[in-house]
Amino acid sequence: MAIDSKGARAVLLPDATVSRTGARLTLHRLLHSPSALISSGWLTLLVLVAVILPPLVETAANRQDLSLRLLPPFSLDNGPMFILGADGLGRPELLQLIVGTRTSLLVAASAVAIAAVIGFAIGLISGYFGGWVDEVLMRIADIMHTIPSLLLALAVLYVLQPSIANLIIVLAITRIPVYLRVARAQALELRERVFVESSRAVGAGDWRILRTDLAPMVLPTIRTVAMLEVASVLLAAAGLSFLGIGLQRPDVDWGMMVADGRPYLATAWWVTVFPGLVIVLTALAANLLSNWLRAAEDPSQAARFIRRPRMRKAAR
Amino acid sequence: MWIFLRRRLLTSAISLVGVIIVVFFLARLTGSPANLYLPESATQEQIDEFNRLNGLDQPLLVQFWNFLVGAVRLDFGDSIWQRRPALDVALAAMPPTLTLAGIALGLSLVIAIIAGSIAAVYRFRFPDRAISVTTLTISSIPDFWFALVGILVFAVQLRLLPTSGYSTASAWILPTATVMLAPIGVLTQVVRGAMIDALGAGYVQNARARGFGTARLVARHALRNASLPIVSVAGDRAAGMVNGSIIVGSVFAFPGIGTVILGAVLNRDFAVIQASVFVVGVGVILVNIAVDAIYALIDPRVRVGAGKGK
């Protein structure tokens, strides 16, 4: 019987059931928040585009046709792929954007993931064990904080040569301290708690405590920070390729496309404006969604999701 | 207080030395300047001569030692590119950068305090939501693109503002707005959070019960306590202003430290890179110390707590 097995599981695995209803609750709330719904829709669309389309359109995207140089947008005379016009070498803007979507999303997602995993692991270990390793790591994090991130990226990319992999590495390195600080601060506080002490009392070793006691407690915070970081990493990556040190042709991303349009700013605005607009929309969607998710998963803000009569100012 | 400042100064100095060492080796990794400054047809003798003149023929560790000895006397060597002391090149770029960063940070603070306070007072209601969506949108705009669109609209189409330079006041408008993009959203959110906490505190509730109006409560009572996190985040953003300066330098040809750094990296002008990083690092440390001092001025508790060796 379905009901029986469900009930049994609830008794055996209370945590799993709670998190499942939690996820369902989040989904339920998502359907009632227009901005979060639109944001996740836009991001899903971009991911689908990035996965499916680039292999199909790559050749057409890079075909240069000087007779179509700086073709104005919003005209179907040359086929739907020129709906957003053409750039300074006669390449269709729309298809370039599609290929660029793959690069931009890949770079932002990988950089965030790598930085989060490394920062999480090092921060946890550093905070838990303390000592001189912790001291050295925090000094390094301080140093990285003193160097403006763009300067660090400039220097490293200049050494490594522009490429997608190196861009990801540089962005990940500059972002590790963010997670490292968060994870360390939490580990520092959690290691004094009673449940850690009791684990140790029943014979758990350091690594076991790190894995089963600390990591699950710190992970949600790291996830929240990572969500927040997606938009800023996206912007940072675009900035580096705009400066011409992030990528090299034939790779292309949105920031590079903005840079490509710069010489024609006065005569062909669309080459500059469209890729930037896509960056704004994507960063905004990521920001809105992470903001909403943070509020939706925070019990102390649960009141925001319940419709209620307007509160009086003083009531608190 | 002084113990606190001294400790802060010491850790900052260690950070600065670390930064300078990292940058020294990082810059050396970018390849030899000889390949860039001499024609490809240059003979081996010419390359050797170039390296000898610029001290690049010595072992790396000897170069490093010479660099350290010079750095202690604030001598970072000459710029290969511009043929004058590197520190002069870096320092000459600081006044426009500091002015720009100061104006931008100041304006951002004023706007953030007003918008953040309004959001805190009308928490979860329409003004709060509108402000939060606006700040989110602002922090989603890439600064380089904002700068280009600004040129497109105000310089190319409307012909109201110049596209570059910094001699007239109107030339500062677009660069300032560009640099403000990054800090303003964060600052507004910090003000909002700090203000919500402060408005909920007992003494503010008490003042409200005594009949003070909301505006006066916010400006006189809550702002003072809310200002601690605001000051610390504003100080934190100061280092980030250099990022904005690099973009502004690239788009508007604004003669700041960003332009110098970008040019130095692209031209493998090691001495200038080191001098610029030193100047920027000292600037960031000074800002941090200023933040600590402001902290102590605003909050007597910090002064007392510092005596215990925090």
DSSP type of residue B218: I
Contacts of A269 in chain B (CB under 8 A): 152
Looking at beta carbons, which residues of chain A come within 8 Å of B33? none
Query: Which residues 34-73 on chain A approach chain B with CB closer than 8 angstroms?
Result: 35
Spell out which residues of chain A touch residue B239, defining contact as CB-CB under 8 Å: 145-146, 148
Fill in the DSSP letter of residue A53.
S
pLDDT in tens, A261-313: 888 888 888 888 999 999 999 999 999 888 888 777 766 665 555 544 444 44
Q: Given an 8 Å threshold on Cβ–Cβ distance, is B121 in contact with A313?
A: yes
pLDDT digits (tens, 9 = 90+) for A194-223: 888 888 888 888 888 888 888 888 888 888
Q: CA B42, CA B98: separation in Å to the nearest integer?
A: 41
CA dihedral A116, A287, A232, B185 (to 10 degrees): -130
Find the residue in A nearest to B202 (Cα): A316
Which one-letter DSSP state was computed for residue B84?
S
The shortest C-alpha distance from A310 to chain B (Å) reads 9
Q: Does A130 touch chain B (CB under 8 A)?
A: no
Residues A142, B265: C-beta atoms closer than 8 Å: no
Q: Is the pLDDT of residue A2 over 50?
A: no
Residue of chain B with shortest Cα separation from A238: B142
Please give the pLDDT value at position B151.
87
Domain count, chain B: 1
Residue B131 lies in a domain: yes
Q: Does A288 touch chain B (CB under 8 A)?
A: yes
- CB distance A291–B136 less than 8 Å? yes
Asked whether the beta carbons of residue B121 and residue A154 sit closer than 8 angstroms, the reply is: no
The answer to whether residue A280 neighbours chain B at the CB level (below 8 Å) is yes
Q: ipTM surpassing 0.85, yes or no?
A: no
Give pLDDT tens digits along chain B (310 positions). 566 667 777 777 777 787 778 777 777 766 666 666 666 666 777 777 777 766 666 777 777 887 788 777 777 777 777 778 878 888 888 888 888 888 888 899 999 999 998 998 888 888 888 998 899 899 899 989 998 998 888 888 888 877 766 677 777 888 888 889 888 988 998 899 888 888 888 888 888 888 787 777 777 778 887 888 888 888 877 777 877 888 888 888 788 888 888 888 777 777 888 888 888 888 877 887 787 778 778 777 766 554 443 3
Q: Of B124, B89, B135, B109, give the one whose Cα is nearest residue B276.
A: B89
Q: Which CATH class is domain A34-315?
A: mainly alpha
Q: How close, in Å, is residue A69 to chain B by CA atoms?
A: 20
pTM of the model: 0.82
Tell me if residue B136 falls in helix, strand or coil: helix
Would you give the end-to-end CA distance of chain B in angstroms? 10
Select the highest-mean-pLDDT range: A10-14, A52-56, B24-28, B30-34: A52-56
Angle, alpha carbons A301-B194-B198 (nearest 5°):
95
Confidence at residue A306, expressed as pLDDT on a 0 to 100 scale:
54
As a whole number of angstroms, the distance between CA B285 and CA B227 comes to 20
Domain range enclosing B114: 96-263
Residue B32 lies in a domain: no
Q: Do A150 and B242 touch (CB under 8 A)?
A: yes
Contacts of A155 in chain B (CB under 8 A): 23, 26-27, 30, 265, 273
CATH of the domain at B220: 1.10.3720.10
Q: What are the strands, taking DSSP E only, across chain A?
A: none
**B13 within some domain:** no
Tens digits of residue pLDDT in A71-126: 778 777 777 777 787 887 878 888 888 988 999 999 999 999 999 999 999 989 88
Interface test with B, best of A150, A159, A170 (most B CBs within 10 A): A150
**Is the residue at B206 inside a domain?**
yes
Contact yes or no for B140 and A255 at CB 8 A? no
- Cβ neighbors of B213 (< 8 A, separation 6 or more) are none
